[in-house]
Every structure is written in C-alpha cells, then in structure tokens.
Amino acid sequence: MIAKFSRSWALFKQSWAVLRSDKTLVVLPILSSIAALLVLATFAIPLALSVDWAAIQSSGDSAQGGKDIHQHLQPWHYVAMFLFYFANFFVITFFNSALVACAIAKFKGEPSSVSDGLKLAMNRLPQILAWSAVAATVGMLLQMIEERLGVLGKIIINLIGMVWTIATFFVVPVLVVEKVGPFDAIKSSVGILKKTWGESLVSNLGLNAVTMLIAFVGILLVAGAIAASIALNTVWIAAIAGALFVISMIVLALITSTLKGILLAATYQYAATGVIPEGFDNDVLQNAFTLKGKK
C-alpha cells in the first residue's frame, strides 16, 4: 500500500509538471464547470418549481418522502430529468475530451491549445452525443431504481453503479483517439483496465487522497483562524480565512480535475501503445501500470 501511494504521489508530481508547462489546460475544467452550472439552472430550477411540494409534504412523512415525490411527478418530469442527465453528461464528456486531446497532443510533442482541444471534441461530437445518451440512460435508471428499493436494494444498486463507473473509466480517451461508438468504447475501456491490472484506478484514488490531504490542511488553518477570532473577539480573521478557504477549494477542485484528465490521458497512452508519455518518468509509469505479458 505504501508503494502504491508512493507511485501515486510521483504520478501526481509528474502530472503537475505537465500542467505547469501549460497552465491554459485548466481553462477547460473552468468552462466545464460554468456549462454544468448553466445546465443545472436550465433544468433543475424549473423542474423543482413545477413540483407541488406542499402536496408532497402533506401526503406523507419523511420516510415516504422519496415515494411521495414520484407519485406527484408527471410524465414530462421524467423526460426533463432525462434531458438534464443527458445535457450534464454531454458537458462533462465534451470538455474532458478536449482536455484529454490536449494532453495527448502534448505527450506526442505536438502543438496544442485549448482551441485545438475544443476543435477535436467537436470532431467527435457524434461519439460524444451517443455516449452521453447511453450514460444518461444508465444513470437515470439506476437512480430511479435506487429510490424505490429498500436499504439492501440500494446497496446492490450502488455496487452496480460502482462497477459501471470502473468499466467506463477509459471511455473518454477511447472516444477521442479511437473514434468509436459508446459500446465499443466501453469494451475497449474494460480491456485497458485489464491490461493495467487496476493500477490506474489506484492512482486516481491516490490523486483524490492528495487533494483531500490538502483540503484537510486548509480546514485546520480555518479552524485556527476561528480560534484566533474568538480569542481576539473579532469576526474579521475568521471571515477572511473562510473566504480564502472557499476560493482555494474552488481552485483546488479545478486543478484536481485538470490533473485527473492529464493522468487519464497518460495512462491511456501507455496502456494502449506501450509508449511512455512525454513528461512522465519511465520507471514510475512502468511500475505503476505493468501491462500483462510484461511482468
């Protein structure tokens, strides 16, 4: 486990070095976040306003809340929910595709920019649309089934959702590079996961762990600022620290999203071609992603 975390830390630093060499890559997660907020405002707010929440509250207790909501939903609500899922998956996949395209171009030593990544994502629009429809269908079905089952059923659905997430881990780079349909992309993604012995997932979790550690340090600093405010009988220290914490968490989330895209692209390139991406250390990547037949 220590060796795995050590490799994850090394890959984090190498992904960070790639980002430092081209800081414009973080623009794509920013655009993705803005687009996702617009999608949320467009669908979720009108949907929430159209539901008769007073009738739901008066028709049952909190234990039956989920069922009561579905009893008051109209058929068009489900259509709107599907379109929301579809639009959300499309936004995420589109901008992730652009980020992966930029990263892969950099690994090959080719000129790359945000506009180049967006152009390639546009060229993959049919594949992205098809994948978004499949992902939205699966996501919505799992959500609807989970809301109607008991505790055991919810656990089973969550496990199915986890398997789905793992199986589709490499779908985005497959769509970008191989230009295939959604089902072929899933098949290729599963094949790459088998080749990398699951280390790609461990490294992704390692990146999350590093991010959580940084966030935890930030929480401790805010707690110290609150304690200082209480001791000095002033709110300004805590207020400033809180504002800085929120801003830093937003920045951290954007950077983490960018690093995940870079690491995903690097993992895919090595697993698919056996070529070490430019900017990554040969020994670290080979040890982290040992291909079957090369052990």
- Read off the tokens for 176: 């970008």
pLDDT of residue 64: 46
- Cβ–Cβ < 8 Å for 202, 2: no
Q: What are phi and psi of 3, to 5 degrees?
A: -65, -40
The reply to whether 295 falls in a domain is: no
pLDDT of residue 149: 72
- Read off the tokens for 77: 């609500």
Please give the torsion angle defined by the CA atoms of residues 36, 41, 46 and 52, in that order, rounded to the nearest 10 degrees. 90
- Read off the tokens for 212: 């959580």
Task: Quote the Cα angle for 138-143-146, to 5°.
Answer: 120
Q: How many domains does the chain have?
A: 1
Q: What is the pLDDT along the chain (295 residues), one digit of tens a residue?
A: 555 566 667 777 888 888 888 889 999 999 999 999 999 888 777 766 666 555 555 555 444 444 455 555 566 667 888 898 999 999 999 999 999 999 998 888 887 889 999 999 999 999 999 999 999 999 888 887 777 776 777 788 888 888 898 889 899 999 999 999 999 999 998 888 777 655 555 666 667 777 788 888 889 988 898 888 888 888 888 888 889 989 988 988 899 889 989 988 888 888 777 777 877 777 666 665 554 444 4
The reply to whether 90 falls in a domain is: yes
pLDDT of residue 186: 94
- Read off the tokens for 23: 């800081």
Q: What is the rounded distance in angstroms from the CA atom of residue 204 to the CA atom of residue 172? A: 15
Question: Which three-class secondary structure state does DSSP give residue 269?
Answer: helix
Longest dimension (CA), the chain: 66
> What is this structure's pTM?
0.81
Name the residue type at position 152: L
The reply to whether 157 falls in a domain is: yes
The reply to whether 39 falls in a domain is: yes
- Read off the tokens for 64: 């039956």
Task: Quote the Cα angle for 133-137-139, to 5°.
Answer: 115
Q: Which long-range contacts (CB under 8 A, 24 or more apart) does 163-167 make?
A: 164/138, 166/193, 166/201, 167/193
Residue partners of 250: CB distance under 8 A and separation at least 6: none
The reply to whether 294 falls in a domain is: no
Q: What is the rounded distance in angstroms from the CA atom of residue 222 to the CA atom of residue 244? A: 9
The reply to whether 28 falls in a domain is: yes
Q: What is the rounded distance in angstroms from the CA atom of residue 112 to the CA atom of residue 218? A: 34
Q: What is the domain range of residue 233?
A: 2-288
The reply to whether 15 falls in a domain is: yes
The reply to whether 67 falls in a domain is: yes
pLDDT of residue 145: 79
